[in-house]
Amino acid sequence: MMNEFEAVEALRTLGLSNYEAQVFVALQQLGSGTTQEISELSEVPRSQVYGAADDLADKGLLEIVEASPKAYRPVELSTARDLLTKRLERETSRAFDRLESIQGTGTDQPAGQDVSMLRGRQPIDDRITTLVRSADHTVVFVSPTADVMTPEIADALREASTNVATVTVVTADRSLNDLFADDPVSVFVMAEDNPADFAGRALMVDDRTVLLAAERDDAPINEEALWTGDSRIGRILAAFMRSGMNSGRDRQ
């Protein structure tokens, strides 16, 4: 069950200030309360409760009860949820509209001659998709299981195999044969007695760009990856991947 501190932190991620979140959480416990009661429960200084409560009222999140002394009452949680969700959506849209207006022209191009680190499943998925779509002639994607093959990655592999590249998927999951049954994507299923052990996902593009990803069970970030573009280290890693694939095929 979420405690008061966690509730405050969650509300802060939705755009409330620390004091606003503390006052709102206190009012959920009180039902309605005076400045003094809110201050005693939330440990927000009484002088700060006034401003936080007025700001919450301006956001439509509480009612001001004109009494003596003045009191405050929160709106229904369903109403608060809708208001905060819409506010967050507006702020998100505004922020990214501004970012798009100042974005440089080269941000979509994969960097080369360096090694980059990525953390988190979604950024890694996006980078894999982008790299596959940059292929000129060869794509090899190591997908240990079907559940790490997102629809976006699968579509990018199909497009590459149809348009420009020879595409190979290496996996231990036979269901990927069915996924690409109608596409010119070659699926190589490792045999059960093959000694290869998948550490995670991997991608090779045009024998010079490589991405290596590994899942993390001991950290909040569920996957980490490094990738390198058209570089010397990329060519070396690609050679190792080629060697591993050839060894695996010889053992089939």
Domains of the chain: 4-97 (1.10.10.10), 115-251 (3.30.870.10)
Q: pLDDT at position 158, please?
A: 95
Question: Furthest-apart CA pair in the chain: how many Å?
Answer: 86
CB 146 within 8 A of CB 173: yes
Q: pLDDT at position 109, please?
A: 47
Three-state DSSP at 108 gives coil
Q: pLDDT at position 107, please?
A: 47
Reported pTM: 0.64
Q: pLDDT at position 219, please?
A: 56
CB 169 within 8 A of CB 176: yes
Dist. CA 84–CA 95, nearest whole Å: 16
Q: pLDDT at position 160, please?
A: 94
Helices (H), 103-190: 121-133, 151-163, 175-179
Q: Report which of 223, 233, 47, 191 is spatially closest to residue 127, judged by C-alpha positions.
A: 223
Report, as ranges of residue numbers, the positions in the chain whose pLDDT lies below 70.
1-2, 104-113, 191-197, 218-221, 244-252
Q: pLDDT at position 213, please?
A: 92
Q: pLDDT at position 35, please?
A: 93
